[in-house]
Amino acid sequence: MVCLSAKALLLAAGCLPQLVHSAGLDTSAVALGKLYFGTATDNPELTDTAYVTQLNNTDDFGQITPGNSQKWDATEPSQNTFTFTNGDVIADLAEANGQKLRCHNLVWYNQLPSWVSSGTWTNATLLAAMKNHITNVVTHYKGQCYAWDVVNEGLADDGTYRDNIFYQYIGEAYIPIAFATAAAADPDVKLYYNDYNIEYAGAKSTAAQNIVKLIKSYGAKIDGVGLQGHFIVGSTPSQSSQASNMAAFAALGVEVAITELDIRMTLPSTDALLAQQKTDYAGTVAACAQTSACVGVTIWDWTDKYSWVPSTFSGQGAACPWDENLVKKPAYTGILTALGGTATSTSTASGSSTTTSTSTSTGSSSVAQQYGQCGGSGWTGATTCVSGTTCTYFNDWYSQCL
């Protein structure tokens, strides 16, 4: 069968081979009480039939984030001329699959069209252009998005404000004004501040917490903080440090989410690096699992075939839970166990292995796996942990096998 239209390829189930579904990453996350486990995607890979088949697997992916097609350069390439074609393709795909859509992003210093980045501005004219952009984009996607990343990467690594064009002409006020403008365009969508290197305690995380306070001090709405999670194998923050950091944001009255998770390594990939990557993924996802305010996890595309890492970090890659051949890596099992599921390998007729998974977080097994829930108010699942782990109390609502 030949499918010529990209959009038809996405929406016509008959054009796609059907997967045998089992309890996967999203199924396990939802069973654990999270809203979703999801992935970023981008328009060029949507012509890859095998890729789209897995992207449509809602047992693994209950949410999709457009990697590039909703950014400023893609949606308003010239002033007050808007185009939503590519973003709509991904939004339509999510809707057809019943997947949530995390919309990304409205105000960022990067991927700006030249009319913004090289324009001649005053405080008033840039403010008007920013508000016009936000209003038009959010209005177009009103009712379709679970959340918007309103301001992306507004901080430098030392915790000071990034010296971008919005800060230069508007000052720190551009951040709460952007949030207020987005809220006016769609009062129901969740509004996030999103950044990297705020996943653990330090100057930048403290500064991000101060951004939450700043937005609230203006009387504007902010619902969540996105912790990007672009990590390096063997250097990933510990589970406890990430959970403690999430709690610091939650104490400000916002939810959190891991929004762009990938864990890269120096190539070539080895069994030892893959094993460490599995541990690192498990620890990060488990930090979200144990934090009631953490609503979900998004990986920054699911396969190494389309990862952004190799073109950005010379000599590094293999950052995703699936390899370039769309085969699950050990990291997949690490994520699954952190969400309370289990994975088993079975032989096929050709002698190759295929991984299937089952969820144990709702009590389908009498023994909870490592990183699985084992107690808490209202918990009806397993309370005995697999050998080598202990049921560890976190709060009245959650205990976990560690």
Catalytic residues: 260
Rounded distance between C-alpha atoms, residue 212 and residue 264, angstroms: 29
3-state secondary structure of 322: strand
Given a contact cutoff of 8 angstroms between Cβ atoms, the answer to whether 195 and 163 are in contact is no
- Radius of gyration, alpha carbons of the chain: 21
Other C-beta atoms closer than 10 Å to the C-beta of 38 total 28
Helix, strand, or coil (residue 171): coil
- Tokens, residue 158: 């030392």
Q: How far is CA 378 from CA 27, 70, 90, 339, 395, in A?
A: 19, 40, 37, 18, 13
What's the Cα-to-Cα distance from 330 to each of 30, 211, 230, 272, 378, rounded to whole Å? Answer: 22, 37, 18, 11, 32
Cα three-residue angle 359-362-366, rounded to 5 degrees: 85
Place of tokens 């949606």: 75
To 5 degrees, how large is the angle CA 51–CA 55–CA 61?
A: 150
